[in-house]
Amino acid sequence: MAESEVISNVHMDALQEISNIGLGNAATALAELLNKRVEIAVPKARFLDFEQVFALTGGIEEVVSCVNLSLEGDIPGTVMFMFSEQSTYNLIDMLMGYELGTTTTLDDMGISAISEIGNVLTGSFINAIGGMTGLNLNTSVPMFAFDMLGAILSASLVASGYWGDKVLVIETLFFQNYDQIKGHFFLLPETGALNGLFEALGMPVEC
């Protein structure tokens, strides 16, 4: 039986709690970085297959921005934070204090801003896992890509050696005043890696 098929609601609740803590820490880090308040909400954490991931983000040819890094140690895999093309521009406007709709192309300053945000978000999530479990987790230097979703996922899967049948997807919402921007956090663990996480939390997956 595939690993994802035996993950219960209790396990998902634990992942949701980790997500809430991690992105709550990220909101604090962003506020310090930007000297302005940016709220982050975590509506849900769930497992999806790849067809559902493509549909969630607009399709295989949808252009997205993605901060991608390798996760090593007790939970090897790949971590990605992804925004649609329009959400990328909107997030840059939010971070830079521009009126929404100002940014229409991605320049070096925009790439730097999105890369830094992705670095803060992924780092906060990984630190939350380590803090709750005591597991040894190391990350590679984050890589930024602005390309079609299919190309980004294909390159990530080849590089990571991921062979699982599901992806952990954590939907996130960024708020500032009345503006709201949606992003998606993806954890692609190597086959069997999540077992180590749940064992560290005292809730091993039953096969």
Residue 205 lies in a domain: no
CB 167 within 8 A of CB 50: yes
How confident is the model over 105-119, as pLDDT tens digits? 999 999 988 888 888
Q: Judge whether 206 lies within some domain.
A: no
Q: Residue 89's pLDDT is what?
A: 92
Its pTM stands at: 0.79
- Does some domain include residue 31? yes
**Would residue 62 count as lying in a domain?**
yes
- Residue-by-residue DSSP string for 7-70: --HHHHHHHHHHHHHHHHHHHHHHHHHHTS--EEEEEEEEEE-HHHHHHHTT-TT-EEEEEEEE
At residue 157, the pLDDT reads 66
Mean pLDDT value of segment 138-150? 86
Give the pLDDT confidence score for residue 5 in this predicted structure. Answer: 45
- Structural domain count of the chain: 1
Tell me the per-residue pLDDT of 73-106, one tens digit each, with 9 for 90 and over: 888 888 888 888 998 998 888 888 888 899 999 9
pLDDT of residue 177: 74
Domain boundaries, position 92 = 3-200
What CATH number is given to the structural domain containing 21? 3.40.1550.10
Rounded alpha-carbon distances, angstroms, from residue 124 to 20, 27, 29, 121, 202: 10, 9, 8, 5, 22
Q: Which residue has the tokens 């506020």?
A: 31
Query: How many CB atoms within 10 Å of residue 109?
Result: 11
